[in-house]
């Protein structure tokens, strides 16, 4: 089968303000996943495994925190002369200059570059979700339906109100769309993987501002526009999908991973690629006790670690006890500390004997080793 000329745009510019101190000094797509990966690795690996090689990453908030990791696309075989990985940042001096205020606005600001690339398909993905999908299947669905827009959907009965909610009809036609409704009429949500017919998208980006004013989030303008034209279809994702939009969802995704019912990161037929740190394997010292946990390269554990994830360079001293924790890069947990249900920030220094977290909440531990924030578990 011929793959249509496809431009993939990965949206990685958001601040991630609901992630608290975790995104004070890094963009949300740069957050660790499973100890060894970054959140943006998921979208880029799905594209690489789907043999889609023209990939633009749109940055805005703290782009330097992503660029070193992206390594010019090398881990995903995107460091190439033709197509490959390209990063787009805010600019001055031409139409579209300045900072974007939403996803639709982001696409509007890049419309001239999109037109210059002359794609047949524009595939837009967010960089803060966990899932695996063969995107060529999405292209097949799009072509078979002769659609202007194909959106990847999934069932999400517990928290659909945080997403775009859809109702579909015969043949998978998307008949209705609600953006973050307080009382969702269905549990079928858009996963923010959108496959656009490129000419239709460019026409919408040109004409919609004349009708509704400055574009904002696609749930407010761009997606309702396409649904109203009655040529939008769904492609159903049946496997795991999770939006990493809050501290609670970030913590829960790691617990799912440890329990074996989260995103699949170790499928040899669908590998997750990343720019891995050049560190020694994890060190487990005499007297340590580790169970149902993931220890990343460069971590050093002498204490007790249960149902937890320990990231590169993190240290757990003797006598410390961690239960259901995610410890990020370079954090140090002192001797005798007791942590439960904690997200421990990069480079945090948890003092010896500290008592942090409990069974009912997710506790964010700041750089100074004290509680920065707590939130209810999902």
Mean pLDDT by 10 residues, the chain (378 residues): 92 89 94 97 98 96 92 94 92 78 94 97 97 98 98 92 96 97 96 98 96 93 97 97 96 98 96 92 98 98 98 98 98 98 98 97 98 95
Does residue 26 share a domain with residue 171? yes
Closest CA to 274 of 10, 52, 6, 31: 31
State which of 233, 250, 267 marks the end of a domain: 250
Domain that holds residue 351: 283-376
Does residue 89 share a domain with residue 184? yes
The Cα–Cα gap between 352 and 334 comes to 4
Number of domains into which the chain is organized: 2
Locus of tokens 């960089």: 127
Does residue 239 share a domain with residue 342? no
pLDDT, residue 233, reads: 98
In a domain? residue 137: yes
User: What count of other Cβ atoms lies within 10 Å of the Cβ of residue 351?
Assistant: 15
Q: What is the CA radius of gyration of the chain?
A: 21
Which pairing describes strands 355-356 and 121-126: parallel, antiparallel, or unpaired?
unpaired
pLDDT, residue 1, reads: 63
CATH code for position 359: 2.160.10.10
Does residue 61 share a domain with residue 157? yes
Residue 345 near residue 360 (C-beta atoms within 8 A) = no
Does residue 36 share a domain with residue 84? yes
Does residue 164 share a domain with residue 16? yes
Does residue 307 share a domain with residue 184? no
pLDDT, residue 302, reads: 98
In a domain? residue 63: yes
In a domain? residue 317: yes
In a domain? residue 242: yes
Does residue 195 share a domain with residue 70? yes
For 237-262, the DSSP string reads: --S-EEE--SHHHHHHHHHHHHHT-S
Does residue 296 share a domain with residue 149? no
In a domain? residue 257: no
The Cα–Cα gap between 51 and 70 comes to 18
State which of 226, 250, 274 marks the end of a domain: 250
pTM (two decimals): 0.96
The Cα–Cα gap between 156 and 313 comes to 35
In a domain? residue 73: yes
pLDDT, residue 277, reads: 81
In a domain? residue 230: yes
Residue 321 near residue 302 (C-beta atoms within 8 A) = no
CATH code for position 189: 3.90.550.10
Q: Is 40 helix (H, G, I), strand (E, B) or coil?
A: helix
Closest CA to 106 of 225, 224, 215, 212: 215
pLDDT, residue 100, reads: 85
Does residue 298 share a domain with residue 208? no
pLDDT, residue 157, reads: 80
């Amino acid at each position: 089968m011929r793959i249509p000329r496809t431009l993939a745009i990965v949206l990685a510019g958001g601040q991630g303000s609901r992630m608290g101190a975790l995104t004070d000094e890094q963009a949300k797509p740069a957050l660790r996943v499973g100890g060894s990966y970054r959140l943006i690795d998921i979208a880029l690996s799905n594209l690489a495994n789907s043999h889609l090689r023209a990939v633009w990453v749109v940055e805005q908030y703290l782009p330097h925190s992503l660029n070193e990791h992206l390594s010019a696309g090398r881990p995903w075989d995107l460091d190439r002369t033709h197509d490959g990985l390209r990063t787009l940042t805010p600019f001055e001096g031409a139409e579209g200059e300045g900072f974007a205020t939403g996803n639709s606005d982001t696409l509007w600001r890049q419309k001239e570059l999109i037109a210059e690339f002359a794609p047949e398909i524009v595939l837009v993905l967010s960089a803060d979700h966990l899932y695996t999908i063969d995107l060529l299947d999405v292209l097949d669905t799009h072509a078979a339906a002769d659609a202007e827009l194909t959106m990847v959907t999934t069932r999400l009965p517990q928290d659909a109100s945080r997403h775009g909610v859809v109702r579909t009809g015969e043949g998978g036609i998307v008949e209705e769309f609600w953006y973050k409704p307080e009382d969702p009429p269905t549990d079928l949500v858009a996963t923010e993987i959108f496959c656009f017919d490129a000419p239709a998208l460019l026409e919408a980006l040109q004409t919609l501002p004349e009708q509704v004013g400055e574009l904002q989030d696609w749930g407010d303008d761009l997606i309702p526009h396409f649904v109203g034209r009655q040529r939008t279809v769904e492609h159903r994702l049946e496997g795991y999908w999770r939006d990493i939009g809050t501290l609670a969802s970030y913590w829960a995704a790691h617990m799912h991973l440890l329990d074996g019912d989260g995103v699949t990161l170790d499928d040899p037929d669908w590998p997750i690629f990343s720019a891995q740190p050049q560190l020694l394997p994890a060190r487990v010292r005499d007297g340590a006790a580790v169970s149902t946990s993931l220890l990343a390269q460069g971590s050093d554990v002498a204490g007790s670690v249960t149902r937890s994830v320990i990231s590169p360079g993190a240290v757990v001293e003797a006598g410390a006890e961690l239960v259901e924790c995610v410890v990020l890069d370079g954090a140090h947990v002192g001797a005798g500390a007791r942590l439960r249900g904690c997200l421990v920030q990069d480079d945090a220094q948890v003092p010896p004997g500290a008592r942090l977290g409990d069974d009912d909440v997710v506790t964010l531990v700041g750089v100074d080793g004290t509680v920065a924030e707590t939130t209810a578990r999902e």
